[in-house]
Amino acid sequence: MFRARRCPPARRCLGLLLLLLPMLAMHGACAAEGVLKIGSKRFTESYILGEVLAQSAAPHAKVEYRQGLGNTAIVYAALQAGSIDLYPEYTGTIALEILKRGGPMSLAEMDAALAKQGLGVAVPLGFNNSYALALRGIDAVGLKVTRLSDLAAPATQVRGLRFGLSHEFLGRADGWPGLAQTYQLPQQPVSLDHGLAYEALAKRQVDVIDIYSTDAKIERLGLAVLTDDRGYFPRYEAVILYRRDVPRRFPQAWAALRVLEGRIGERDMIAMNAQAELEGKSFHKIAGEFLGGKAQGGKAQGGGKGGGLWARLFDEHLWLLTRQHMFLVLASLLAACAVGIPLGVLAERAPTLRGPVMTAVGVLQTIPSLALLAMLIPLLGAIGTGPALVALFVYALLPIVRNTATGLMEVPPGLRDAAKALGMSGRDTLLHVELPLAAPVILAGVKTAAVMSVGTATIAAFIGAGGYGERIATGLALNDNDLLLAGAIPAALLAIFTQWGFDAAERRLVRSRNLG
């Protein structure tokens, strides 16, 4: 005998989301006005310089250090949005990539141009870290390649060199496109993460890579750095790019940062990079030792190889990263349920809208995750938890909407007719008959979205949202396999536990329905 049961999953999801909104606001809110927010990019030197800046300012202000915020586009968007107050940058990048100027610019000219955006550049740190191309020393000798112009030689062996260039270098205004045009280079490069490039070169998987002139592994691997004989690359003096109001808001901290002017020489920077990449010291400790005393401020995630995988896996940051990761997954999943289930109902109820709804959520899921995060920063005016939650919400929609519509379409028409004969309204039929019967299929969609979100949430670290991706991003920057695994293993285990939990819920739901 048919018996209607109350099981309104859409209403419950919406209620949970409303209860969660205050927590979301607190978790994703911008830091207090009195906090100096410092950022850095996702490569070794930027991690270290960010720590140097943070520890220099820490005795004079409350400092929040957001490390490893992806490439120039992401960290610069964060600066413009006010999500960070300053970060270490390079003059060549500012002139060509940010200001889009073709010729050389003085520091004063850059500062004047940036002032229109409420930004400024100051405090030359004392070293130049130029882009360059390098290949194995033995190959350079054998092929008689010492200059960039030699790469355009007609010899088959030279033209057959395999280029593995970083993603950012391939797209920068001062990167590969202009370099290839200037030197008429015929080679077709493949993209390669900068942190993996040296290992790929050592294993002869590629022959030529882009490097920073202060990289620590150049000498160790016996690489030949090719001379820029046509002067394509500008100078990349390390400086501080900051919001114009920082000196007013944090006068003592700014004075401490000004003391760093000219203090970091090229050999100093190479030595600090070597301590991170070759000796396994943490970024925090390296910066503290350079500054000549005990490290200041909160210790950032990542860096340091001591103790092996087990120690890296169960270090003092594990519980914090776990909380951050689970929050991202849970909050975005609840929001996706609150929106996706009603959308699925709409798609089932209105056949004319089914195609557009499914197409829209399908297209949203095809947007590359990093591209979506980069677009969300200027749209939301923030980095961190907010954009990460929006991105995860978008990616979770498709399986929930699709399974909700599918589950409702599989409800036997006779049961709908029976509910109507009993005098139930359309709303009551949906809430007390159709959704309970479709619940196993809907739950399967939610499970798929949850498992996907656990993996996708690792990308959130690239915009400072935390989670296990912090370890993965730093491990990539350092080519540190133990640190990579220390982030990947907990993420994989969380995905497995999530699937087990939903499987158990599905079995319980089926048993409950059979007993009912």
Q: What is the pLDDT of residue 16?
A: 47
Q: Which residue has the higher pLDDT, 475 or 45?
A: 45
Mean pLDDT of 244-258: 96
333-348 tens-digit pLDDT: 999 999 999 999 999 9
Of 47-56, 229-238, 505-514, the poorest mean pLDDT is in 505-514
Pairing mode, if any, of strands 62-66 and 35-39? Answer: parallel
Q: Which residue has the higher pLDDT, 305 or 510?
A: 510
The full DSSP string for 399-425 is: HHHHHHHHHHHTS-HHHHHHHHHTT--
The two most distant CA atoms of the chain are separated, in Å, by 89
Residue 66 contacts residue 37 (beta carbons within 8 Å):
yes
Could you give the angle at which helices 369-380 and 385-409 cross, rounded to 10 degrees? Answer: 120
Q: How many C-beta atoms lie closer than 10 Å to residue 229's C-beta?
A: 12
Fold observed for domain 32-128+236-300? D-Maltodextrin-Binding Protein; domain 2 (3.40.190)
Q: Which residue has the higher pLDDT, 474 or 299?
A: 474
Assign 3 a pLDDT band (cuts: 50, 70, 90): very low
Chain-wide mean pLDDT for the chain?
Answer: 86
Q: How many C-beta atoms lie closer than 10 Å to residue 310's C-beta?
A: 10
pLDDT(5) > 50: no
Taking the C-alpha atoms of residue 32 and residue 506, their distance in angstroms, rounded to an integer, is 43
Q: What is the pLDDT of residue 303?
A: 57
pLDDT(268) > 90: yes
CA dihedral 419, 420, 422, 426 (to 10 degrees): 80
Mean pLDDT of 319-337: 94
Domain spans, the chain: 9-26+317-515, 32-128+236-300, 131-225
Q: What are the two backbone dihedrals, phi and then psi, of residue 55, each rounded to the nearest 5 degrees?
A: -75, -30
372-400 tens-digit pLDDT: 887 887 788 777 888 899 999 999 999 99
CATH of domain 131-225: 3.40.190.120
CATH topology of 32-128+236-300 equal to that of 131-225? yes
Taking the C-alpha atoms of residue 415 and residue 513, their distance in angstroms, rounded to an integer, is 15
Mean pLDDT of 85-110: 91
Q: How many C-beta atoms lie closer than 10 Å to residue 511's C-beta?
A: 10
Domain 9-26+317-515 listed as CATH 1.10.10.10: no
Report the Cα 216 to chain-centroid distance in Å. Answer: 24
